[in-house]
C-alpha cells in the first residue's frame, strides 16, 4: 500500500547494517508470529506509517501510552502490533516507542512517495540513536 509500507523499508535498511546488541525484525502482517518475540523483548521500537496530520515525510516519536489505539473486538484483519500488544501481550516491555512516518500516498503499490523515501535515512539514523541510548542506559 505504498507509504503504508514505510516501516518495512526502514527495517530492511537497518538489517543491512545491524545495530549492535539489538534485533531488527520485519513483522508486516505476521503479528501473531511475532508475539513471542515481542513478549521477550526488554524494549521495543516500532517503525511504521503514522497519519498524524503533518507534512508527508514528517517523522514522529511517541511512547505507546500516547497512542490512542484501543484493543480491537471482532475482525483480526486490521490487527496491528500495538493492538496485539494491548490485547494478547502477556508481558509488557519496559519501554515501547513508535517512530511514525507521515504518509503521502496510501494506494496499491510497492513504491514509496518521494517525501517518505527521502525520510528513510533520517528514520534509520533516529532508530540507531534510540537503540544506542538504550544500550548505553542498560550498561550503566
Question: pLDDT (tens digit, 9 = 90+) per residue, 8-22?
Answer: 999 999 999 988 889
* Interstrand relation of 95-101 and 43-49 (parallel, antiparallel or unpaired): parallel
Read off the C-alpha cell for 47.
517503525
- Say which residue the cell 484483519 belongs to: 77
Question: pLDDT (tens digit, 9 = 90+) per residue, 32-78?
Answer: 788 888 888 889 999 989 988 999 999 999 987 776 655 444 444 44
Q: Please compute the mean of the pLDDT values over residues 93-111 and round it to a whole number.
A: 89
Is the pLDDT reported for residue 105 higher than 70? yes
Length of the chain as a residue count: 140
* Interstrand relation of 59-63 and 95-101 (parallel, antiparallel or unpaired): antiparallel
Read off the C-alpha cell for 35.
508475539
Read off the C-alpha cell for 78.
486490521
User: What residue segments make up the domains of the chain, in order of their start?
Assistant: 2-139
Assess if CATH 3.40.50.2000 describes domain 2-139: no
In angstroms, the CA 11 to CA 46 distance is 10
Of the pLDDT bands very low, low, confident and very high (cuts 50, 70, 90), residue 93 is confident
Q: Please compute the mean of the pLDDT values over residues 96-104 and round it to a whole number.
A: 92
Residue 88: phi, psi to the nearest 5? -115, -15
In angstroms, the CA 130 to CA 69 distance is 23
Give me the helix-helix angle, 81-88 and 31-40, nearest 10°: 60
H-assigned helices in 19-96: 31-40, 81-88
What is the biggest distance separating any 2 CA atoms in the chain, rounded to whole angstroms? 46
Amino acid at each position: 500500500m505504498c507509504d503504508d509500507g514505510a516501516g518495512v523499508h526502514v527495517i530492511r535498511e537497518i538489517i543491512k547494517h545491524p545495530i549492535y546488541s539489538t534485533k531488527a525484525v520485519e513483522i508486516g502482517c505476521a503479528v501473531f508470529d511475532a508475539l513471542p518475540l515481542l513478549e521477550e523483548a526488554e524494549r521495543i521500537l516500532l517503525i511504521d506509517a503514522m497519519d498524524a496530520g503533518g507534512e508527508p515525510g514528517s517523522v514522529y516519536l511517541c511512547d505507546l501510552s500516547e497512542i490512542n489505539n484501543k484493543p480491537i473486538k471482532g475482525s483480526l484483519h486490521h490487527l496491528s502490533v500495538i493492538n496485539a500488544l494491548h490485547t494478547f501481550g502477556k508481558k509488557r516491555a519496559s519501554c515501547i516507542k513508535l517512530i511514525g512516518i507521515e504518509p503521502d500516498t496510501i494506494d496499491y503499490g510497492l513504491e514509496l512517495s518521494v517525501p517518505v523515501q527521502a525520510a528513510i535515512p533520517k528514520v534509520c539514523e533516529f532508530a540507531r540513536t534510540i537503540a544506542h541510548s538504550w544500550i548505553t542506559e542498560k550498561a550503566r
